[in-house]
Amino acid sequence: MEQTAGKIINITEKTVDNRKKHDTSMDFLRVLAITLVIASHAKILEQGGVGNCIFFALSGFFVAMPFKKDGELAFLSFKEWLFYYGKRLLRVLPAYYAYLLFVVYFTGTIFVTALDGYGSLLLHMCFFKVGGHLWFIQQEMAFFLICPVILCLTAILKKTLKKVITKDWQISLLQALFVAILAYLFYRFLHINLYGNNSIVAFMPQRIMTGMVAAYIYQALKASLPKLGETKGFQILTDIYMVFFVLFCILSSEWILSRINPAFTGYYIGWENPLLVLNLTCLALILLASSGNCLIKKFASHPLIGFLASLSFSMYLFHFPFLSLLGSGSRARTFLLVYLVTVGFAYLVKKGIEEPVQKLFKKRRPKENKVLIA
């Protein structure tokens, strides 16, 4: 690209905080989410809605590339859109198709010959009609279609704001406000139905966009108060909040609330009030990303947490059929057995399918990705 109308920056080198290495504290949230989902399907606590909200917020947070300065500017190029789509398909399809084949041959709930309905393998492969817990994957894939458009709009906004605003934290806050308004408009006026969970389910991009808002707020906080996360007080605050958040995920279950007050019978907070859960998760994301070496990060750095987090996608896929195959006995026994078997099977899928396929097709990005800033 020629330097004709502005300044060229290398967005692969500039980061908000020297391009953070993998943040293990986010792994903790992934493990918490998948544990809540599996426990819920085993009829323990039934906080699957909370787990899904955590996953939604995590997806949006990382989509906004919070640890990469000006990362969204790459989406001004259509080539970046294509790279993004290819990357997402490469991440999702190997394990997803392996799951579909597993269901076809071992549970008999999806059929190769069916061309219509929720039992159709073809419709599942295209995400047109999906059954059971796959509604969440369908929501994510639908959002991935429009995500480059959203990132392109935030990039245009940033380029425009840079002409009149010099402080990065102010630009990040305005980006957060823009995405929040866009999410509300989607919620208010975008009425698209998807065929998921064996029924009609509304498309809910606003849930993932809530995580994007959190990412831009984090960038604003990091740019305005870069040393805040290193202070002891902030680290203690993060630890206290995370204890509260974990307790909230447990104690807000219908099983507990209904015993305190019968009026809460049938009230599942993750489904009834997802905005509350999403906002609490976003606050956890901001605190964890901003905080330095707090206790929760030390706990989350344990290799077991990282191991389980790396398997969370396949665990989400495969735990459901194992519930029907192994779900005899008490709820606690079912949960532990399914959890352990799912971990082992997800590891085999990762090593035997996901990683080989990704190594086969994954292309390395160019060392430099230059973007023109007017």
Where in the chain are the domains?
7-373
d(CA 222, CA 359): 34
**To the nearest whole number, what is the mean pLDDT of the chain?**
90
Q: What is the pLDDT of residues 300-327, one digit of tens each?
A: 999 999 999 999 999 999 999 999 888 7
Whether the predicted pLDDT of 1 surpasses 70: no
pLDDT score, position 22: 58
Q: How far is CA 369 from the centre of its chain?
A: 25
Q: What is the pLDDT of residues 158-201, one digit of tens each?
A: 999 999 999 999 999 999 999 999 999 999 998 999 999 989 99
Rounded to two decimals, what is the model's pTM? 0.90
pLDDT score, position 363: 55
Whether the predicted pLDDT of 374 surpasses 80: no
d(CA 154, CA 43): 41
